[in-house]
Amino acid sequence: MGSGVDREKLFVKIGLENKYVTEQDLKKAKDYQVQQRTRGIEMSIGEALMELKLMNKVQYLAVQRAAHYKVQRASDKILARIIIESDYTPKDNVLEAMSWQKDHYLKDGVCRGVGDILIERGHISVEQFKAAQKILQLKGAPA
């Protein structure tokens, strides 16, 4: 889920789910992207939607945050499994950190990495976190 294309698809999916945009809006934005690309200007679908006034900044930021959360959460679920399997900290600590991450995101829209939460609470060391990230990269997931 790390590539720009995946993020674009995720942005579109979330934008549609939240009814911030319609299929027609997306078609206009995609046409605009192509038009701008011929001028040498690269822009995301979200930027195109905002330039065409089909999405406002609040909606754009809400979709961006939701997309970031989904990408972060997917990566963190794999990382959490690695941390548990590596016996860096008990499963309860990891599950509690994942739960806190979700609750915190729902309250204020900020998604903190589960590794950061576990380090902050003294459940794992920075070295353990880096080792878990290395394993995550070897598994082919975005770190």
Residue segments in the chain with a per-residue pLDDT below the cut of 50? 1-2
Place of tokens 């027609």: 24
- How far is residue 22's CA from residue 28's CA, in Å, rounded to a whole number? 10
pLDDT of the residue at 4? 55
pLDDT of the residue at 143? 52
pLDDT of the residue at 2? 47
- How far is residue 10's CA from residue 44's CA, in Å, rounded to a whole number? 12
pLDDT of the residue at 108? 87
pLDDT of the residue at 110? 86
pLDDT of the residue at 6? 84
Place of tokens 């995609």: 30
Q: Specify whether the CB–CB gap between 27 and 15 falls below 8 A.
A: no
pLDDT of the residue at 142? 55
- Give me the helix-helix angle, 57-85 and 4-17, nearest 10°: 120
